[in-house]
Amino acid sequence: MLHGRSGEILSVDTIKTDIVIVGGGGAGLRAAIAAAEKDPGQGVALVSKVYPMRSHTVAAEGGAAAVTQPHDDLEYHFNDTVAGGDWLCEQDVVEYFVAHAHEELVQMEHWGCPWNRRDDGHINVRAFGGMKIERTWFAADKTGFHMLHTLFQTSIKYPSIRRFDEYFCADIVVDEGRAQGVVVIEIATGKVCFIQAKAVILATGGAGRVFRENTNGGIVTGDGMALAFRRGVALRDMEFMQYHPTCMPGTGLLFTEACRGEGGYLLNKDGYRFLQDYGLGPPSPEPRNKFMELGPRDRVSQAIWHEKQKGRTIDNPHGQVVHLDMRHLGEKKLRERLPQIYEMAEEYMGIDPAHEPIPVLPGVHYTMGGIETDGRTATNLPGLYAVGECASVGIHGANRLGSNSLVELCVFGKVAGEEATQFAKTTRNSSTSTLERQASDIGNRVRCLVDNATGKERIAVIRSEMGKSMEDGCGIYRTESGLRATCDKLAELKQRYRSINIEDKSSAWNTEWLLAIELGYLLEVAEAIANSALNRRESRGSHQRLEGLEQRDDQNYLKHTLARYAGEGPPKIEYSPVKITKLEPGIRAYGEAGEKAEAERKMKKEAAHGK
């Protein structure tokens, strides 16, 4: 039962609804619930290429940040986020974000999320990197897992949410300048369907799989980013890829930052807490917010890179590593607060973290950039919204603080659901036959990918060459020649991609076909990352250039990068201004230097207010 063989006209099944959401992770589920609550009478289609509880939100470990304690303040969370993002955040959006974080986490609590508690029954919070006050809500070290299952199970309450589990999104249908639905493949049968809708929300997650060593699940392939990009929506700030400092050598699996929040140390081969040599000291035995191991991820990963250059790292079959030492925390605390980490160390590495340090190295973890949206999650293509890791709503800037993204998917997932509802009410679809014709063309094109893929290139080979090249050229530190080599390599791989071979010609569960489509998405996003990085001739946050470009250059680069689709060639790079409201760009420092910088900022502010 093959569909759309060459020469045939492919008929598509059409499903009509009001809103279609692509992606069943945290952001997509939160948006679906918001849309269902806003207008219980409208239809909400939730499309996901995996069952929602498999989505990669499941792997988030550490927690979700919201101002919670009496001595904390929204302004502190704002300042931490903006300075942590090296001033590339949209400050009005960050203001909205920090102001709505707490109520969204309370909402998660009301829906049943099993947050850790204090003895008096109130929410407990833990310390996290780059955060001035402890404000990270957590559910052991499986916060993303619990949030995802809570959202998924809660979504079952709403009859208007119709799930399309294991449907793969192949394209967005655009007519009369508006997004009007999506073309999807029912994975179990290979059948192509058109879901017609008045508004489309992309919530497809990040693109970490463009890199070789990464913490991400196999599904994190930048699907929504590539689809929006090909439809003319800009990808913003793609050069900012987050390296998480503590990952398992070889597989890249994540050891949460909460390991350090709970008091773990990072040691070099001499057993020395080396972060004190990189502006994060002085060290203290107990964790101190914004000092040492509680520095932000970009700085900690960069410090590990420098240790490697100095020959102070430890040899491991999978590369140069440092040690994550949690022995002093004791087995009881580790089992209670970090059970999954304990299990991973024991089962995957044969290490008992209560008695041995864990070898770790940095791995790609999070895509700070994404589909450009305004502060209400709307893209510049009417009817198209984007939310979560696939989007760039503007809160992460050049470096995301750990525990801001799980809150982002709640705060902006709700916004996306409500905004899309509003939009759907005020618009009408083009004629169904027009849209179906387009959907049918798209269906033919994706199906032809299988039939025509009889070349010699192996999907896996192109994918691994891409991952290696991204790591070589777009890693923690970047050089002009390295970046150019990666851009050239990606152009070459895109050419070779045209000659791939898909052995499986079947329709049902043809996962090789899906891998091929995903590889196309990955290459698109990889090019946006590499070219954005090549053009940013300064160092900021997670984007670090060598060769005289080691400093931040606000004069020329206090602006967002916009990568625009340009057909076959590399993307066109443009820039847009950054919204500054309350916090003027200043020195970004941590440890003792950070305290000094903060005191100076405060003095300046007070002086400006004439105090």
Partner 1 sequence: MENNDKTIEIEVLRYRPEEDEKPFLQSFKVPFTDDMSVLQGVQYIKDYLDGSVSFRWSCRMAICGSCGMMINGVPKLSCKTFLREYYPGKITLEALKHFPIEKDLIIDLSDFIGKLESIKPYIVPSAPRALEEGEYLQTPRQLDRIAQFSSCINCMLCYSACPQYGLKPEYLGPGAIALLHRYNEDNRDSAKAGRMQLLNAQEGVWDCTLVGYCSEVCPKDVDPAAAINRNKVNSAMDYFLRCITPRGGN
Interface residues toward partner 1, by CB under 8 A = 1, 50-51, 53-56, 58-59, 103, 106-107, 109-112, 114-123, 140, 142, 145-146, 149, 153-154, 156-157, 165, 188, 217-219, 250-251, 253-254, 317, 340, 343-344, 347-348, 458-460, 501-504, 506-512
Q: Put residue 356 in one of left, alpha, beta given phi > 0 → left and psi -120 to 50 → alpha.
A: beta
Please, what is the minimum distance in Å from the beta carbon of residue 188 to partner 1? 6
Partners of residue 320 on adjacent β-strands: 315
HSE-up (13 A, CA, CB side) for residue 2: 15
Written as six digits, the tokens of 112 are 């049943």
Q: Which residues of 457-486 are buried (b: 16+ CB within 10 A; e: fewer)?
A: bebeebbebbbebbbebbbbbbeeebbeeb
Give Dmax (Cα) for the chain. 78
Please, what is the minimum distance in Å from the beta carbon of residue 83 to partner 1? 29
Partners of residue 315 on adjacent β-strands: 320
Q: CB under 8 Å, gap of 24 or more: what pairs does 341-346 form? A: 341/61, 341/141, 341/255, 341/256, 341/259, 344/248, 344/253, 344/255, 345/255
Let me know if 244 is a catalytic residue: yes
Distance CA 514, CA 170 (A): 9
List phi, psi (to 5°) of 361.
Answer: -145, 160
Q: Are strands 544-545 and 477-478 parallel, antiparallel or unpaired?
A: parallel
Residue 396: count of CB within 10 angstroms of its CB = 30
Please, which residue, 340 or 427, has the CB nearer to partner 1?
340
Please, which residue, 316 or 479, has the CB nearer to partner 1?
316
**Catalytic one among 56, 135, 260, 545?**
260
Report the SS3 class of residue 603.
helix
Please, which residue, 186 or 277, has the CB nearer to partner 1?
186
Contact indicator for 329, 492 with CB cutoff of 8 Å: no
Please, which residue, 161 or 525, has the CB nearer to partner 1?
161
> How many residues are there in the chain?
611
Please, what is the minimum distance in Å from the beta carbon of residue 59 to partner 1? 5
Let me know if 212 is a catalytic residue: no
Please, what is the minimum distance in Å from the beta carbon of residue 153 to partner 1? 4
Please, which residue, 431 or 506, has the CB nearer to partner 1?
506
HSE-up (13 A, CA, CB side) for residue 598: 16
Contact indicator for 303, 277 with CB cutoff of 8 Å: yes
Please, what is the minimum distance in Å from the beta carbon of residue 521 to partner 1? 16
Please, what is the minimum distance in Å from the beta carbon of residue 498 to partner 1? 17
Distance CA 594, CA 514 (A): 47
Please, which residue, 197 or 258, has the CB nearer to partner 1?
258
Please, what is the minimum distance in Å from the beta carbon of residue 558 to partner 1? 36
Please, which residue, 140 or 294, has the CB nearer to partner 1?
140
**Catalytic one among 163, 244, 299, 478?**
244
Please, what is the minimum distance in Å from the beta carbon of residue 154 to partner 1? 5
Element at 151 (helix H, strand E): helix 143-155
Question: Residue 92 burial by CB count (10 A; 0-12/13-18/19+): exposed, middle or buried?
Answer: middle
Distance CA 264, CA 45 (A): 44
Q: H-type helices in 426-457, by residue range?
A: 432-452
Please, which residue, 252 or 369, has the CB nearer to partner 1?
252
- Beta strands of 232-357 (E only): which ranges? 235-236, 241-247, 265-267, 314-316, 319-325
Please, which residue, 115 or 167, has the CB nearer to partner 1?
115
Contact indicator for 186, 510 with CB cutoff of 8 Å: no
Please, what is the minimum distance in Å from the beta carbon of residue 505 to partner 1? 9
Q: Show which residues are catalytic.
A: 244, 260
